Structure 1
């Protein structure tokens, strides 16, 4: 099986700072892959490179075997890459329903969806547990529910790869349990790249884990391998991995 996503020597410099340093990375179809590391490790910069929000200083990015290194972000979305941001990017004045409807309309325009918009919206809201909030203005939702709305907007794009940046931040324990169930369901039809600080979530969900530190890949492996890795233990001393 060939990787769905692959980076080769991916590097990004900001002046004298090398935020991402020659990262070789692969993501297999149907995988839930967690990307972890301390603040400033380069996680968000790495996924911004993958999504096309910033350009690499050097290296290459491949999606389904196609070189997308210079492809603009909106064209990567059309290929099936969806990214939810660490800071919520919902339209605060629009209802929950309308936020998701915008994403559903995009799949219809790109030829990746079919059927009635309203049906598609409610199906996605049901998956994330926001059906009862459909008519509420997105800006009035609790922070955790705004994060779930972002996930819903990503799912509405019918992605082949969905990248989730701190999706459980602000969720209650019960909502996190529901989120874990949802991720397992999503992995049946899409590939998931997860940036997450909640190690319980990471260890429960991830098939593989990549650890970044100071822009470099510190370790990669199964949850069991990462938990036993001495270098990771040193980098995360006291964090409970």
Structure 2
């Protein structure tokens, strides 16, 4: 396992957003995290990435305890979270945004590395465009491109297809498939067609707890998941 969480918990006042979650992520897999709104998904991945501190529990990455490490140290170990690490700078162009990420892993030619990162997410024709002028879908692709530029071992994506057109979603699916097994991918996603097409395993959260984990087929057939989230097969 590349990442393991045991008894992970986080509360906000009286609300237990994450309530004693045990979770294991296999190296080289695409793993989806799904559940109703308010199930604790974003809080959970924020704990994994270091964006928020856990109230209880432990997180191990590649065998090392990272529970108390700050986010930047987790990035250095190979964890990238798009909503935290790759926030775009609206006043800078696409090239500059990508360069900020690329320079952390810089090779001999920064410009060439930036162009390669842009091409990977289909933004090679937008390098001179201010990030704030991109469509929302292209801004999401820029976030993904910045995350990939960090060359992470674990890439966490929070709603990556939101705002993408159908053709862009197809390209995104192809891109994510190309990352494994060198990169492990954990994604929160509400588009169930994307989840069922991409994920090798799925974990369902509900009220801050793990409701089920399994293959797409197992999750689709699980009565508890149907009742809480997916609806009945005939619905």
Q: Aligned equivalents of 1:77 and 1:85: distance in 2? A: 13
Q: Which residue of 1 aligns with 2:43?
A: 45
Q: How does 1:218-233 map to 2 (within 5 A)?
A: 218-233=211-226
Q: Which residue of 1 aligns with 2:227?
A: 234
Q: Is the 8 A contact 2:8 2:22 kept in 1?
A: yes
Give structure 1 regions of 4+ aligned residues with deviation exceeding 3 angstroms.
237-241
Q: What is the total number of aligned residue pairs between the two structures?
A: 233
Q: Aligned equivalents of 1:115 and 1:217: distance in 2? A: 45
Structure 1: segments with no counterpart, 5+ residues:
109-113
Deviation at 1:237, TM superposition (A): 4.8
SS at match of 2:139: helix
Aligned-residue CA RMSD (Å): 1.5
Q: Aligned equivalents of 2:82 and 2:208: distance in 1? A: 21
Q: Aligned equivalents of 1:163 and 1:236: distance in 2? A: 22
Deviation at 1:99, TM superposition (A): 0.2
Deviations 1:103-144 (A, max 9, x none): 011223xxxxx2211111111111111100111000000000
Q: Which residue of 1 aligns with 2:189?
A: 196
Match of 1:83 among 76, 81, 89: 81
**Does residue 1:31 correspond to 2:24, yes or no?**
no
Structure 2: segments with no counterpart, 5+ residues:
none
TM-score normalised by L of structure 1:
0.94
TM-score normalised by L of structure 2:
0.96
Q: Aligned equivalents of 1:237 and 1:5: distance in 2? A: 27
**Does residue 1:119 correspond to 2:112, yes or no?**
yes
Q: Which residue of 2 aligns with 1:111?
A: none
SS at match of 2:125: helix
Q: Which residue of 1 aligns with 2:121?
A: 128
SS at match of 2:81: strand
Q: Aligned equivalents of 1:237 and 1:107: distance in 2? A: 40
